[in-house]
Amino acid sequence: MGLNCAIDGPSGAGKSTIAKELARRLGFVYVDTGALYRSIGYYAVSKGADTASADEIVPLLGDISVELKYVDGAQRVMLNGEDVSDKIRTPEISMAASNVSAIPAVRDFLLNLQRDIAGKNDIIMDGRDIGTVILPSAEVKVFMTASPEERARRRYEELKAKGQDVNYDDILSDINQRDYNDSHRETAPLKKADDAIELDTTSMSIDEVVGAIEKLITAEQRKESAPFRTIPAFRRWFYAVLRFIVWIGFSIVFNLKYEGTENLPEHGSVILAGNHRTWFDPILIAIRVKFISAYMAKAELFDHFPLNVIIKAVHGFPTRRNSADVSALTRAENMIRNGYNLTIFPEGTRSKDGKIGRAKSGVAFIASKCGVPVYPVGISFKSKLHFRSKITVRFGKPISPAELHINSMSKADLRAAGELIMSNIAGLVDEDA
Contact set with ligand DC (CB under 6 A): 11, 33-34, 37-38, 94, 97-98, 101, 127-130, 178, 182
In angstroms, what is the minimal distance from the CB of 280 to ligand DC?
A: 53
- Closest approach of Cβ 40 to ligand DC, in Å? 9
Question: In the complex with ligand DC, which residue's Cβ is closer, 158 or 333?
Answer: 158
Closest to ligand DC by CB, 3 or 135: 135
| Smallest distance, ligand DC to C-beta of residue 207, A | 22
Closer residue to ligand DC, CB minimum distance, 17 or 338:
17
Question: Using the 8-state DSSP alphabet, how is residue 102 labeled?
Answer: T
Nearest CB to ligand DC, comparing residues 107 and 315: 107
On whether the CB atoms of residues 366 and 336 are closer than 8 A, the answer is yes
Closer by beta carbon to ligand DC, 98 or else 121: 98
Contact 303, 232 (CB under 8 A): no
Supply the minimum distance, in Å, between the C-beta of residue 182 and ligand DC: 5
Least distance from ligand DC to the Cβ atom of residue 143, Å = 13
29, 23 contact by CB (below 8 A)? yes
Alpha carbons 333 and 256: distance in angstroms, whole number: 31
Pairing state between β 74-79 and 66-71: antiparallel
Residue of 283, 422, 311, 410 whose CA lies nearest to 360: 422
Judged by beta carbon, residue 168 or residue 250, the one nearer ligand DC is 168
Note the helical H segments in 314-390: 326-337, 362-370
Q: Which is nearer to ligand DC, 46 or 308 (CB)?
A: 46
Distance from C-alpha of 32 to C-alpha of 35, rounded to nearest angstrom:
6
* Shortest separation between residue 3's beta carbon and ligand DC, angstroms: 19
- CA separation for the pair 352, 170 (Å, rounded): 63
Cβ atoms of residues 149 and 172 within 8 Å? yes
In whole angstroms, how close is the CB of 213 to ligand DC at the nearest point? 17
We find the least distance from the C-beta atom of residue 82 to ligand DC, in angstroms, to be 18
Exposure string for 194-227, b = 16+ CB within 10 A, e = fewer: eebeebebeebeeeebbeebbebbbeebbeeeee
The count of residues in the chain is 433
Residue nearer to ligand DC on the CB measure, 87 or 290 = 87
Nearer of residues 27 and 148 to ligand DC, judged by Cβ:
148
Residue from 215, 149, 210 nearest 10 by CA: 149
**CA distances in angstroms from 325 to 16, 58, 109, 298, 362, listed in the order given:** 44, 64, 55, 11, 9
Residue 330 amino acid letter: T
Q: Report in angstroms how near the CB of residue 184 gets to ligand DC at its nearest.
A: 12
